[in-house]
Amino acid sequence: MAEIRIFSLARQLGLQSKALMAALAELGLEDVTPASAVDEDTARAAVELLAEQAQEARKAAQAAAEAQAEAAPQQQQKGEAAEAVAEEWEEEEYEPPVHPAELEAGLAELEQHLQRLRVEAQAEQADREAVKPLPELAARPQGPRPETAIEVPPVVTVLGHVDHGKTTLLDALRNTDVIATESGGITQHIGASEVAVDDKHIVFIDTPGHEAFTQMRARGAQVTDVAVLIVAADDGVMPQTVEAINHVKAAEVPLVVAINKIDLPEADIERIKQQLLDHELVPEEWGGDTIVVPVSALQREGLDELLEMLLLVAEVEELWADPEADMVAVVIESSLDESEGALATVLVRNGTLSVGDVVVCGTACGRVRRLRDWRGKSVKTMPPGHPVEVIGLSDVVEAGEIMQTAATLKEARQIAEQRQEQQREQKLAGGARRQLRHLYQELGTEEVKDLNIVLKADVWGSVEAMVSSLEQLNERLDEVDIEIVYTGVGELNESDVMMAVASDALILGFHVDATASVEQAAADEHIEIRTYDVIYEALNDIRKAMLGMLEPIYEERLVGEAQVLHLFSSSRVGVIAGCRITDGQLRRGSRMVVVRDSEQVFEGTLESLRHFDNDVASIDAPQECGVASSEFRDWQEGDIIRAYVQEEVPRTLE
C-alpha cells in the first residue's frame, strides 16, 4: 500500500504539520513526526476528520451568530460587546484549520497523488517479480532450449571422510599433485579443475575433508550436477561419509559411489555396499539405482569406468547453457593477492564472461582485467560450464556469491553500494542483538567472559570453516563467549592490530603471515597473534584458551586417616594427639575432622604435624606422628582423625 509523509500531505492540504498531527493523534497515531509516513487509508481518514472538524466549526460559528441576532432586540445595549465576544470566540475556538473549499481541492489532489504512488508501487512489484532471486539465476537453465544453446560439462563434487583419498583420486584423474602442497595432508581449500575424456569435459570441485568444513561441502553440493562419494574400502562408512550423504540428498543431485583403496589387503567391497544399504543407497547390482565403482587412485584402477559413469549420468541430465544469454557465475573461491588484488574463482553458469566486462558480485564490482583457466593460463573469454579465475574486482568476495554483468561501471557501483548498505543495516541489527544478549548475561548470576577474535585467512572458504568451528565451540560453554569481531581475507596488517586493540581481541591467522612491522605493532600494543596452517591446531589452541578462562572448580578429597593412641601435654601447643596413620597421609594445613564413636566432635585445621622432634608438612601411613590444633584440645584415645584437601578439578568442554 502506498505511503506519504506527513509534511508532504500537510503541504498539499495547505496545513501546518502540527494541525495534521493533531488529527492523527485523535485517530490513535500519536508517536509521529512530520517526517513520519502514513498509508493512504490513514491519510484519507485524517483528511476526512479535518473536513468534519471544519464543517462543525462553521456550523458552531453560524449558530452563535444567529443566537446573538435573536438576543439583540432585548439586549441592545450589549449588542456590540456580544458581537465582539462572538467574533473572538469564533476566531479562537472554531477557526477551521483550512477552508472547506480548499480542503476539498487538497483532498482531490491527495487522491491523485496516492493513485500515482499506487501505480509506482505496482510497477516496482512487477519489476521485483520479473527479476529472479540470485540463487535461481545461478541454477541450471530449464525450459525450452534456445537455438544458441550448447552442451556444457557436468560439475562433479567429490565428497567423503578424511583420508579416504578424495584429493589423491583427483590427482590421478588430472595428473597433478595437489596433496603434496596441502598442510597436514588435508585439503584446506576448494578448487575447481577440468578433466578431458575424449571430446568431452568434466569439471571437478574438490571439497575439503576436515569435519570443520561442513559448510563448504554443503555449498559445493549446491552447484553440483553429480556427486562422487569416496569411501575407503578398508575403513568403510564414517561420520563424515554420512554427513556427505545427507548433503547430497538435500541438494537432490545424482550420486555415484567410488569405493577407493581396493588394492589394500584389508579391502572389503561387499562390506561397504552393505553399509551403504543402511543409508538407503542400494547398488545397481543389488536392484537399486546407486552406481558403485571400485577404484584405486594410487594404482589408477577403475578410473576410466568412473569417468564413463559420470558422463553417463550427465548425459541423462541433459545439461546445457546459452553462451548468448546474460552472464551469471558462482564464486567457488576467493583470495587476495598483493600484486593482483582481489581474485575470485568462479564457475560460469550461463552466458560468456570476457575480459573487459563490467561485473558486480556481492558488495564488490569492477571491470575484468584478466581471466585465467584452472591451469593458470590467460584466456580472453570463458564460455558457460567452465571454471575461471577473475581479476579486477574491487574487493574480496565471499564464496557462494553470484557474479553478474552490468551495463556500466556506474551501475555496478550503485548495485554494490546498495548491498553494502543492506549489510551495514544487518550488522547494526546484529550488534543490537549482541548488546541485548550481554544485558541478559549481566542480569544473570554467572559472569560470562568474552574471548574476542580477529580472524584473517587467505581465502573465504577457510574463513567460513573457522567461523563455523568457533561457533560450535561457543555453544559448548556458558561461561565463555566467543565473539568474532572481524573477519577478512589477506595478509595480516596494522589495521587488524588496531581492530584487536579496540576490541581487546586475539588475532588468528590461517594460511597468512604477519610482517615484522605488524608483529612489532602487536607487541607494542600487547596483542597476541597466532598463525596456523592446519585447522586442527587452531581449534586446539582456542579450546585451551577457553579452558584457561574458566573459573576453577574445586572438590574436597579425603587424603588420609589416623587413630589417636596416646595423649601428650606441651606448654607451647597444649595437648598433642599421638597417632598412627592407618590410611593415606596427613598434611599440615588440611581440613581435619575428629570422629568419636561414629560422631563428629570437631572440624577445623590441622595446624601442627610432627614426626619425632621435627615439624613436617606431610607424613604417610603406617608411620606415627603428633597432631595438634589450637582450636581443639579435648582429645581422647581412640579418636579417628580424617584429613581432607581441596583439589582443582580439570575443566573440559564436554
The pLDDT assigned to 414 comes to 92
**Mean pLDDT along residues 266-278:** 91
554 has a pLDDT exceeding 60? yes
**Mean pLDDT along residues 93-99:** 48
Instruction: Indicate which CATH number applies to the domain containing 349.
Output: 2.40.30.10
Domain match, 276 and 183 both: yes
List Cβ<8 Å contacts ≥24 apart for 297-306.
297/165, 297/168, 297/169, 297/171, 297/172, 297/260, 297/261, 298/168, 298/172, 298/261, 298/263, 299/263, 300/172, 301/262, 301/263, 302/258, 302/262, 303/169, 303/172, 303/173, 306/228, 306/256, 306/258
Domain match, 161 and 281 both: yes
Q: Is residue 193, in this structure, part of any structural domain at all?
A: yes
The pLDDT assigned to 355 comes to 95
Q: Is residue 425, in this structure, part of any structural domain at all?
A: no
The pLDDT assigned to 413 comes to 92
Answer with the residue of higher pLDDT: 500 or 327.
327
Ranking 22-36, 170-184, 508-522 by mean pLDDT, the lowest is 170-184
**Mean pLDDT along residues 116-131:** 54
**Mean pLDDT along residues 503-521:** 87
Domain match, 571 and 466 both: no
The pLDDT assigned to 45 comes to 81
73 has a pLDDT exceeding 70? no
Q: Is residue 142, in this structure, part of any structural domain at all?
A: no
Q: Is residue 139, in this structure, part of any structural domain at all?
A: no
Domain match, 184 and 237 both: yes
Answer with the residue of higher pLDDT: 340 or 78.
340
Domain match, 290 and 220 both: yes
The pLDDT assigned to 380 comes to 95
pLDDT tens by residue, 309-322: 998 888 888 889 99
Ranking 114-118, 292-296, 438-442 by mean pLDDT, the lowest is 438-442
Tell me the average pLDDT of the chain. Answer: 78
Domain match, 537 and 558 both: no
With H, G, I as helix, E, B as strand and everything else as coil, classify residue 200: strand
The DSSP annotation for 488-546 comes to: EESSB-HHHHHHHHHHTEEEEEES--B-HHHHHHHHHTT--EEEESSHHHHHHHHHHHH
Q: Is residue 112, in this structure, part of any structural domain at all?
A: yes
Nearest to 302 by CA among 311, 312, 293: 293
Ranking 66-80, 235-249, 354-368, 447-461 by mean pLDDT, the lowest is 66-80
522 has a pLDDT exceeding 80? yes
The pLDDT assigned to 541 comes to 81
The pLDDT assigned to 222 comes to 64
Domain match, 354 and 465 both: no
Ranking 22-26, 227-231, 268-272 by mean pLDDT, the lowest is 22-26
Please report which helix (H) or strand (E) contains residue 195, including its range.
strand 191-197
271 falls in which pLDDT band (50, 70, 90)? very high
Domain match, 461 and 501 both: yes
The pLDDT assigned to 478 comes to 62
**Mean pLDDT along residues 73-89:** 47
Domain match, 272 and 288 both: yes
Number of C-beta neighbours around residue 445 at 10 A: 4
The pLDDT assigned to 502 comes to 73
Q: Is residue 426, in this structure, part of any structural domain at all?
A: no
The pLDDT assigned to 169 comes to 87
Strand residue runs (E) in 298-443: 320-321, 328-337, 341-350, 353-354, 358-361, 364-372, 378-379, 381-382, 387-393, 402-405
Domain match, 317 and 360 both: no
Q: Most confidently modeled of 152-166, 217-231, 369-383?
A: 369-383
Answer with the residue of higher pLDDT: 397 or 448.
397
- For 17, the domain range is 3-129
Instruction: Indicate which CATH number applies to the domain containing 453.
Output: 3.40.50.10050
Which of these three, 129, 160, 186, is where a domain ends? 129
Residues forming beta bridges with residue 402, ordered by sequence position? 330
pLDDT tens by residue, 593-618: 999 988 999 999 898 898 888 889 99
pLDDT tens by residue, 431-464: 444 444 444 444 444 455 677 888 998 888 788 8
The pLDDT assigned to 419 comes to 87
The pLDDT assigned to 115 comes to 67
Q: Is residue 509, in this structure, part of any structural domain at all?
A: yes
**Mean pLDDT along residues 117-125:** 59
Instruction: Indicate which CATH number applies to the domain containing 281.
Output: 3.40.50.300
210 has a pLDDT exceeding 60? no
Domain match, 475 and 565 both: no
Ranking 113-127, 233-247, 350-364 by mean pLDDT, the lowest is 113-127
pLDDT tens by residue, 357-368: 999 998 899 999
28 has a pLDDT exceeding 90? no
Q: Which amino acid is at 595?
A: V
Q: Which alpha helices (H) appear in 385-527, and where do they start and end?
A: 409-443, 460-474, 494-503, 516-524
Q: Is residue 654, in this structure, part of any structural domain at all?
A: no
119 has a pLDDT exceeding 80? no
Number of domains in the chain: 5
179 falls in which pLDDT band (50, 70, 90)? very low
127 has a pLDDT exceeding 60? no
Which of these three, 321, 353, 369, is where a domain ends? 321
The pLDDT assigned to 316 comes to 83
Ranking 121-135, 185-199, 255-269, 275-289 by mean pLDDT, the lowest is 121-135
* Residue 228 cell numbers, joined: 562422487
The pLDDT assigned to 78 comes to 47
Domain match, 66 and 23 both: yes
Which of these three, 321, 340, 357, is where a domain ends? 321
pLDDT tens by residue, 558-577: 999 999 999 988 777 778 89
